[in-house]
Structure 1
Amino acid sequence: MFFLVASGVLMALIITSPASDSVQFSWYTGESIRCELEVYNDDFSTQATESNPSKFHVHNIGELKPDSNYHYLIRCNSSDEIMIEGSFSIPLNPGDEFEFAVYGDSRSNLSVHEKVVKTIAKKEPLFVIHTGDIVYSDNRLNDWEDFFKATEPFGSTLFLPVIGNHEKEARNYKAFFALPGNESYYSYRAGDLLFLMLNTNERFDRYSKQYKWLKSLLKSETAKFTIAVFHHPAFSYGSHGDSFFVKTILVPLFEKYGVDLVLTGHDHNYQRIEHNGITYIVTGGGGASLYGIKDLSGPTASFKGHHFVLFEYDSGYLKGICYDTNENVIDSFDLFPR
């Protein structure tokens, strides 16, 4: 449970990190203040105290145990008043039944992004994935303020993003989100699901570090479902269309090593495309202005509207459901391991 205690200061929090023993708390306050973070359960307790006031607050908490429930409290300006409290866990082995949500391209429209997030939060997913273009410009702190305002309902849900073209060099992205390795691309495992979180804004050709990392991971890791997540779609019938280099470099790798599902954004609509046994989803309806579908006969399903996709994992199979912001079902589909 997450809630905001009225205090006159807007506060909004994001928790990230697919590491098995740590998370990062990043939060925004409407004015520059000093805050204190406390994280605890019956077997663990730690505090982080700030010495300098700021609007943006970032703290890493380590020595955590996966699949254990933790509580957190945030107080500011040396006040005894609890300004934010909630609970979280790191879902490494979440069991045979759980849900996660996916959306993208939230930039440019705060009110719509807020509506999408509120609708997602009602479903209470275990974690939320963002397919990139989180903000309009990574360098503009005003855009990040809007992001934190919109995502306030995600206060107890792990947030797992990838970099879109609007994040570019991603300096603030890497400051506000804690991700392993070089933070540009990483992997995350939740039970039987392996997520490959790629960055199609930097080199992924066959001689690149990212490609070699991806190929090595695909060859060495096994999972019931392998899911690739990145921004630029291999196949799209929207305004941007297919990404030539993704299609010619990454798709053969996905087909050879049994990737089951590919999640992308970039085109501001919803599309489900089936190609050589792999399901490709374009989910770019998180808030930015919408793009039409140029060829309605191309995708298996499509929708020009703001939306998100909820995935339900149940004992060996995945069900995907696309919802609009009024919780209407736009599309649903079942996935079985390849």
Structure 2
Amino acid sequence: MKRFQILFFTAFLFLCANLLFAQINAPSPIPDRVVLNLTENPATSVAITWRTDVSVSEGFCELQPAAEGPLKKEDSKTFKAKTTTIKYEYGDEPVIDANQHSFIFTDLIPGKKYIYRVGASDFWSEWFEYQTPSVENDKFSFIYFGDPQNDLKSQWSRVIRSAYRHAPDCGFMLYCGDLINRAGRDVEWHEWFHAGSFIYGMVPQVMTPGNHDYNDLMLDPHWNAQFTQPTNGPKGLEGTCFVIDYKNLRIISIDSAVDSELENENGYPMQAQKVWLDSVLQANTKKWVIVTTHLPFYSPKENRDNKHLRKHFQPILEKYKVDLVLSGHDHSYGRGRVSDNPQAGHKVMYVVSVSGPKMYEAGDKDWMEHSGADKQLYQLISIDGNELSYQSYTASGELFDEFILNK
């Protein structure tokens, strides 16, 4: 009898351990996955999103100017967030029921440091510090990542942490799609949030989706639930196609992963984005323009070439003298200033990069001024008046490539 009890207790412990491991990505009443996103007006507003379990039916944000010492409760303003209940399902893995909470802080003072926390009742996050950009066109920097995608906790984590250590005062971090490998798989999002941890709560994130962020033509349900990105793009592409003005830079996200990588050239996603892109570039008053998208206009991979992107979008980019296009997808590195239309009189600088450990070979293509393979990279881009400085670094912090654009 005693032996049976021991065996039963051992089996029970084993079952509990398995259930605990399977639910490692499950939410709790304590806020997690706290992430900032840039709004279309970053100097005076910032978006915040986080997650709890469904027992927390309301979420709140507390905000106050950054103090030099201990916080005073009376200095905080409290705001009620929007709360949405989401069910995440993926294959035979445990279903995740969560409440996603989001709020946009508005009427902030440009250039001012704030601290905030999120939560409800007895369950709160730590206090995060965030500084709004000033309205002056002084120097600023941001970090650009190609696809994270694979081994996010074990290997991609060192890249984002190395980038943050290199430039902790960067204005934002920008991603060119494929944040995870299998759209809708919550355990992979658990790894992505683990990798960046507190960084996401202090540095705003900007992301355009990749083909791995879609599944059967459907955007991962996590995307617009756990990120609060601008909705100023074409109808139906909210949160994936948008424009942001940051100091003297206009950032434009083109969703090249939608509609099976814009396979239908006469379809709504392609045609609507073309019209929209022309309109936001025509109305642009910023000195610098950078477009971010997943599929490269020019691929470093020998057997890939996205001619349809160049056919439909390149004439618009050249018409308005866009400076730089940042992309991912091909898991190697290539960059060059090139055009299919020499008569246009303007050549855009195109970059393809990768930050995760999944690697492809880089071909020997004429368009590339610099290329490389088998390197996990992050890019630090700085703008100072009439000069844009670009530097690409390996995961170990070694300089790999650099160039300067001057107006």
When normalised by structure 2's length, the TM-score is 0.72
Match of 1:187, as an amino acid?
V
Alpha-carbon distance in structure 2 between the residues aligned to 1:220 and 1:259:
13
Match of 1:40, as an amino acid?
Q
State the Cα deviation string for residues 62-111 of structure 1 (Å, max 9, x = none). 333252332112456615xx642212244363531111010021112112
1:190–1:94 CA distance, 2 compared to 1 (3 A):
farther
> Could you say what secondary structure the match of 2:239 adopts?
coil
**Contact (CA 8 Å) 2:83, 2:102: kept in 1 or not?**
no
What is the aligned partner in structure 2 of residue 39 from structure 1?
Answer: 63
Matched, 1:303 2:372: yes
**Contact (CA 8 Å) 1:75, 1:84: kept in 2 or not?**
no
Report the Cα offset of residue 286 of structure 1: 1.9
Match of 1:19, as an amino acid?
E
What is the aligned partner in structure 2 of residue 335 from structure 1?
Answer: 405
What is the aligned partner in structure 2 of residue 6 from structure 1?
Answer: none
**Contact (CA 8 Å) 1:133, 1:166: kept in 2 or not?**
yes
Alpha-carbon distance in structure 2 between the residues aligned to 1:326 and 1:265:
20
Report the Cα offset of residue 269 of structure 1: 1.7
1:119–1:94 CA distance, 2 compared to 1 (3 A):
farther
> Could you say what secondary structure the match of 2:258 adopts?
coil
Map of 1:78-93 to 2, 5 A cutoff?
78-79=122-123, 83-91=125-133, 93=135
**Contact (CA 8 Å) 1:94, 1:190: kept in 2 or not?**
no
Say which of 307, 318, 325 aligns to 2:388: 318
Report the Cα offset of residue 289 of structure 1: 0.7
**Contact (CA 8 Å) 1:28, 1:145: kept in 2 or not?**
no
Say which of 283, 290, 313 aligns to 1:227: 290
Q: Which has the higher contact order (CA 8 A, sep 6+)?
A: 1
**Contact (CA 8 Å) 1:311, 1:318: kept in 2 or not?**
yes
**Contact (CA 8 Å) 1:48, 1:59: kept in 2 or not?**
no
What is the aligned partner in structure 1 of residue 16 from structure 2?
Answer: none
When normalised by structure 1's length, the TM-score is 0.86
Matched, 1:99 2:118: no
**Contact (CA 8 Å) 2:245, 2:251: kept in 1 or not?**
yes
Say which of 207, 226, 241 aligns to 2:304: 241
Matched, 1:72 2:116: yes
Match of 1:133, as an amino acid?
D
What is the aligned partner in structure 2 of residue 4 from structure 1?
Answer: none
Report the Cα offset of residue 41 of structure 1: 2.6
Alpha-carbon distance in structure 2 between the residues aligned to 1:197 and 1:127:
14
Between structure 1 and structure 2, the one with the greater Rg is: 2
Report the Cα offset of residue 113 of structure 1: 1.5
1:49–1:263 CA distance, 2 compared to 1 (3 A):
closer
Report the Cα offset of residue 140 of structure 1: 1.3
> Could you say what secondary structure the match of 2:190 adopts?
helix
Alpha-carbon distance in structure 2 between the residues aligned to 1:333 and 1:33:
51
> Could you say what secondary structure the match of 2:211 adopts?
coil
**Contact (CA 8 Å) 1:102, 1:129: kept in 2 or not?**
yes
Report the Cα offset of residue 17 of structure 1: 3.2
**Contact (CA 8 Å) 2:254, 2:293: kept in 1 or not?**
yes
Structure with a larger share of its residues in helix: 2
Map of 1:143-182 to 2, 5 A cutoff?
143-152=188-197, 153-168=199-214, 169-170=218-219, 171-178=221-228, 179-181=230-232, 182=238
Report the Cα offset of residue 25 of structure 1: 2.0
> Paired residues, what number?
327
Match of 1:129, as an amino acid?
L
Percent of aligned pairs sharing the same letter: 22
Match of 2:39, as an amino acid?
P
Which piece of structure 1 moves more, 246-255 or 200-209?
A: 200-209
Q: Structure 1 regions of 5+ residues with no counterpart?
A: 1-8
Alpha-carbon distance in structure 2 between the residues aligned to 1:216 and 1:51:
33
Superposed CA RMSD in Å reads 2.9
Alpha-carbon distance in structure 1 between the residues aligned to 2:283 and 2:312:
19
Report the Cα offset of residue 257 of structure 1: 1.3
Report the Cα offset of residue 15 of structure 1: 0.5
> Could you say what secondary structure the match of 1:147 adopts?
helix
What is the aligned partner in structure 1 of residue 180 from structure 2?
Answer: 135
What is the aligned partner in structure 2 of residue 289 from structure 1?
Answer: 358
Map of 1:201-280 to 2, 5 A cutoff?
201-202=257-258, 205=265, 208-238=271-301, 241-276=304-339, 277-280=347-350
> Could you say what secondary structure the match of 1:166 adopts?
helix
What is the aligned partner in structure 2 of residue 190 from structure 1?
Answer: 246
> Could you say what secondary structure the match of 1:174 adopts?
helix
State the Cα deviation string for residues 265-323 of structure 1 (Å, max 9, x = none). 1011221111042110102x221411111216652112221011100112221100000
Which piece of structure 1 moves more, 296-305 or 229-238?
A: 296-305
1:121–1:154 CA distance, 2 compared to 1 (3 A):
farther
What is the aligned partner in structure 1 of residue 171 from structure 2?
Answer: 126
Alpha-carbon distance in structure 2 between the residues aligned to 1:213 and 1:46:
37
Report the Cα offset of residue 188 of structure 1: 0.8
Report the Cα offset of residue 13 of structure 1: 2.3
